[in-house]
Amino acid sequence: MRSINLLPPEVFKQAAASRRRNIWILAGLLYLLLLGAASFWQFGRVSREEDKVAAQQATNAALQRELAGLAGVESTKLAFQQTAGAVQAALGTDVAWAGILTDLGLQITDNVWLVSFSGGSSGEVSMTGVGLSYEDVANWLRSLGGETFTQLGGGWMDNLQTSQIGNTPIVNFSATSFLTDQARSTRASTRIPEVAP
């Protein structure tokens, strides 16, 4: 048997329209629900980023306070550099005369002795002395630039004269030499402490 619908076609149209309306309402509600979930998720994300910003601002403020506490360091550093420059200027060409004279005394043999010794920070050193022979004077002069005495180098004789003390022949000499880098004092470096930049 076949069913016969006795309802007018307007009822079917109204039912179809009602179904479409309900689907649209359901789709709208679903859209609003998704929009609400996305907004809630985005709000949570924004809140986390705001917390990060607040934490970074607190860190920045702490660093600014620390930096303000170090304001005097720059003036201290400048004063140190000025003092170090003054020490370097005063002692940069300083000569370790005590070491030179001690080592020079060890170089003098039994047959040679010095009468005078003069020098300055300019680098030239003048000496006068007496030796028992030319060979003794030459050996002593060669030792000035040798491995055991490196503070003076390149010595040369300015004048040699023979004479006598009593019956003993002697050689009077005057010699010139120059100071080497080993003659420089380390006083400047020991008075200026090294600091980390």
pLDDT by residue (tens digit) across 114-135? 999 998 877 899 999 999 999 9
Same structural domain for residues 65 and 105? Answer: no
pLDDT of residue 13: 85
| Joined tokens for residue 152 | 């003076």
Q: Which of 29, 50, 69 is the last residue of a domain?
A: 69
Q: What does each C-alpha distance from 125 to 109, 148, 173, 176 come to in angstroms?
A: 19, 18, 14, 6
How much is the pTM?
0.54
Separation of alpha carbons 45 and 37, rounded Å: 12
Does any domain span residue 85?
Answer: no
Q: Which of 69, 85, 119 is the last residue of a domain?
A: 69
Does any domain span residue 91?
Answer: no
Query: Which residue segment(s) compose the domain that 57 sits in?
Result: 7-69
Strands 168-179 and 124-131: antiparallel
pLDDT of residue 73: 78
pLDDT of residue 180: 86
Same structural domain for residues 55 and 117? Answer: no
Q: Other C-beta atoms within 10 Å of 175: how many?
A: 21
CA angle in degrees (0–180, nearest 5) for 162-166-167? 75
Does any domain span residue 78?
Answer: no
Same structural domain for residues 102 and 151? Answer: yes
Separation of alpha carbons 99 and 107, rounded Å: 12
CATH of the domain at 146: 3.30.1360.100
Residue 166 φ/ψ region, left for φ over 0, alpha for ψ in the -120 to 50 degree band, beta for the rest: left
Share of residues in the chain with pLDDT > 70 (%) = 97
Same structural domain for residues 61 and 105? Answer: no
Same structural domain for residues 121 and 158? Answer: yes
Point out the residues of the chain with pLDDT beneath 70.
Answer: 1, 196-197
Does any domain span residue 86?
Answer: no
Does any domain span residue 155?
Answer: yes
Same structural domain for residues 132 and 63? Answer: no
Q: What does each C-alpha distance from 192 to 47, 49, 78 come to in angstroms?
A: 55, 50, 14
pLDDT of residue 116: 93
Question: Tokens 């050689």 map to which residue?
Answer: 171
Residues 6+ apart with CB under 8 A from 178: 123, 124, 125, 152, 153, 154
pLDDT of residue 23: 93
